[in-house]
Amino acid sequence: MRVPSAMPVLMRGKHRKPRHGACLMEYVSVLAGEAFSDAPRCTDPTLAAIARAVNDYSGDAKRQRLGLLASDLTTKGRLELTQRHDLARRCLLTAIPYSVGDRRRVLVVGLLGLERAASGDTKGFCSDAVSLDSEFALLGCETAVRQAIERLETLPVSLDQHRDRGLGAAIELAVATIAEEAPDPDDVLYDLLVACLDQHGGSRAGTPARRTRGRDRDGVGAHRRLAERHAER
174 contact partners, CB below 8 Å, separation of at least 6: 88, 91, 92, 94, 95, 107, 110
Where is average pLDDT lowest: 23-37, 63-77, 199-213?
199-213
Structural domains in the chain (count): 1
Look at residue 97 and give its three-state secondary structure. helix
In this model, does residue 202 exceed pLDDT 80? Answer: no
Do the domain assignments include residue 205?
no
Residues pairing with 10 in the sheet: 22
Mean pLDDT along residues 179-198: 97
Mapping DSSP to helix (H, G, I), strand (E, B) and coil, where does residue 47 land?
A: helix
In a domain, 210, yes or no: no
Rg (CA), the chain: 18
Query: Model-level pTM?
Result: 0.83
160: Cβ contacts below 8 Å, ≥ 6 apart? none
* Whole-number pLDDT of residue 156: 96
Is 169 within a domain? Answer: yes
Residue 68 lies in a domain: no
Domain housing 155: 81-196+216-232
Largest CA distance in the chain: 56
